[in-house]
Each structure stands twice: as structure tokens, then as C-alpha cells.
Amino acid sequence: MNRLAYLLAGTIATVIQTGPAWANAVYVSNEKDNTVTVVDSNTMEVTKTINVGQRPRGITISHDGKHLYVCASDDDTVEIIDTATHEIIGSLPSGPDPELFVLSPDGKTLYVANEDDNLVTVIDVEKKRVITEIPVGVEPEGMGISPDGKTMVNTSETTNMAHFIDTSSHEIVANVLVDSRPRFAEFTPDGSQVWISAEIGGTVSVIDNASREVVEKVTFEIQGLRSEAIQPVGVRISADGKKAYVALGPANRVAVVNTETYEVEKYILVGQRVWQLAFTPDGKHLISTNGLSNDITFIDTATDEPIKSVTVGALPWGVTVAPN
């Protein structure tokens, strides 16, 4: 029965992908003016601006696309927005100063990094209650979850570690040292590796999820740019696992990394202080938030060329795209 459903779903997905491009809503959190900008992924135009809580940063969407979750950092809460009405319909007890979070693959659990309290808060999304709090290193920030949902990785910015957490026991099972100020954790689609960006260290550490050891370190070099300006933050890996995109902060570029050779194949010039990244569900476009130029850039992932920049709110921080 399950198998049949799976096959059916697969067929439907194929049909959709061969059809016309799907219009998806792109949601951008604007840290400075307390808004979320909604952009149409097809027309690449702003369709709506939603007023939210103070200092919105981390942003993600439920797997059914109905609810948007936004970290309102200065309000110490995660707001829930109904994507049909664009109204704030509730909040989640995130603990103080939530910055980034990750939703479990089954959509039931939200893992939130609380920067001020050296904690990861685990929230039952449906019941809107805290399941547990996990003590981690100083200034927890990056949050990644394995595709099977069994392992969650949190990075702590001052401790400089990636903490591997077993999602069933809520216990840390490994601590892996990475370079200075780790900002983001992203699993490869097959779950075999976690990529950790280090903003001040200027590198991305590739950790093997079986041995929990750093197996590769991606470095960046841009001619005419001093090394201090290269500050890796957001990381996204293509669905086929072949390319990793790394936002390089004040270097104003997104690096395209070959996941087999770990070499940078291209630097895509986007806007100023590029922070976070998101793919459209069809994987054809990557969207970057460019904090200082107050815009987002659509990148064509076939050519890795920027297509269009769209002005959003003040200090765009995070981005998420509605599923099909």
C-alpha cells in the first residue's frame, strides 16, 4: 500500500516537473524593518509585504506550505503566519532570542537555536509546546537536520563546534571542532555529510556523518579581495548533491563548489553582504538575500548566472520558498 502511494507520488511529481514552471511564493525576512516580503518566483516581483515581530531573521515554511515560521528575535518568539491570509495566527515558545531553526523532515518538530542561553529548544509544532532544551556551546546558531530526521546538527559560534544531536534521545553524540564562528549547517541530500560554514575562519568544513570527522575543508580565494572580506554564511546543496552554493557575506558573492572535488568552480556576484540562500522547489533557481543592498538575487542554477535582483525590505536576512 505504502509502496503504491510512493510510486503514485513519484509519477505525479514527474508530471508536475515536465509541466509549466510552478509559481512559488518566496518569503524574505527583513531584519531591520520588521517585515516579510513575498515575491512571486515566476514574475520575480514583490506581491505583498507582511508586518511581523521585531528583528525577523530565521524563516522557514511547513512542508504543506500552509504555515510560515519566522524567528522574531527581539520579541523572543517564533511567529506563525498563515500563508493564505498572510495573518499572524499564533506563536511558538521558542525561548529567548531565536535566530535560526530547522524543521524536522516529518514537519512535527522545530529545533530552535537560542543564542543568548547556549540552548537548542525542541518544540512540538502541533501542540505548540517545548519538548526539551538541550545545552550546547556558546552562541548556538546554525541548525541542520539529516534527511532521515535522526541527527540534528547545531553550530555554536564562540565554541566553534558542530554538535551532533540524536533526535530521539535529545543528547549530544559528537562534538566536532570547526573554524571560527560557524554559522550554518547543511546536510547533503544523501545524509552522508554535513557542510559547516565558518564566517570568521573563512572556510566550509565538510564533516562525514558516519565518522563525525572533518574530511575536507573548502577554502575561497577571490582576486582583488582581501581574505578578511570572505565570510561564508548560508550553504545550500543541490538536490542531486553535485553542487554546493555558499554565500560569502561581505565578499558579495555566492561560491559554487563542486562536491566531488571540493573546488570552487565559480563566484557569482550578487548584492552586498549576501547572507542566506534558498532553492525554488524545482531546483532551477537559487535565491540569495543581500543584506546591505536591500535586495534578493535570483540565480539560474543551470548556468549559475544571476538573472534578476529584486528590492525587498531593509536588511534582508533569511529566505524560504513555498513548496509545490
Partner 1 sequence: MDMKSTVPNTLLFFFACFFLLVNAPEPMAQQKPAAKPVTEIRIGYLRAYEPQLALSVLDIPPEDEGVAGANVAINDNNTTGSFLGQSFSLDVVQTKLDEDVVPVFREMLARGEKYVLTDISASQLLSIADLARENGVLLFNVGSTDDVLREQECRSNVFHTAPTRTMLADGLAQYLVWKQWRTWVLLYGSHEPDQLYADAIRRAAKRFGAKIVEERLYEDTGTARRTDSGVVQVQRQMPVFTQNLPAHDVVIVADESEVFGSYVPYRTWDPRPVAGTAGLIASSWHPASEQWGGSQIQGRFEKATGRRMLSKDMQAWTAVRILGDAATRTNSNDTAKIEAFIKDEKFSLAAFKGQKVGFRRWNWQLRQPIFLGDGRGVVSTSPQEGFLHQFSELDTLGVDQPETACKLN
Chain residues binding partner 1 by CB under 8 A are: 97, 115-116, 118, 134-135, 137-139, 156-161, 163, 169-173, 175, 177, 180-181, 199-202, 226, 228-229, 231
Q: What angle do CA 159, 161, 162 make, to 5 degrees?
A: 145
Supply the minimum distance, in Å, between the C-beta of residue 125 and partner 1: 23
3-state secondary structure 270-303: CCCCEEEEEECCCCCEEEEEECCCCEEEEEECCC
* C-beta of 137 vs 313, nearer to partner 1: 137
Supply the minimum distance, in Å, between the C-beta of residue 318 and partner 1: 16
* C-beta of 135 vs 147, nearer to partner 1: 135
Q: Is 18 strand, coil or helix? A: helix
Supply the minimum distance, in Å, between the C-beta of residue 307 and partner 1: 29
Supply the minimum distance, in Å, between the C-beta of residue 164 and partner 1: 11
Phi, psi of 9, deg, nearest 5: -60, -40
Supply the minimum distance, in Å, between the C-beta of residue 21 and partner 1: 38
117-132 in b/e form (b: 16+ CB < 10 A) is bbbbbbbebeeeeeee
* C-beta of 177 vs 307, nearer to partner 1: 177
* C-beta of 35 vs 160, nearer to partner 1: 160
* C-beta of 61 vs 134, nearer to partner 1: 134
Supply the minimum distance, in Å, between the C-beta of residue 171 and partner 1: 6
* C-beta of 169 vs 223, nearer to partner 1: 169
CA 156 to chain centre: 16
32-55 in b/e form (b: 16+ CB < 10 A) is ebbbbbbbebeebebeebbebbeb
What the block records as the C-alpha cell of 178 is 570547526
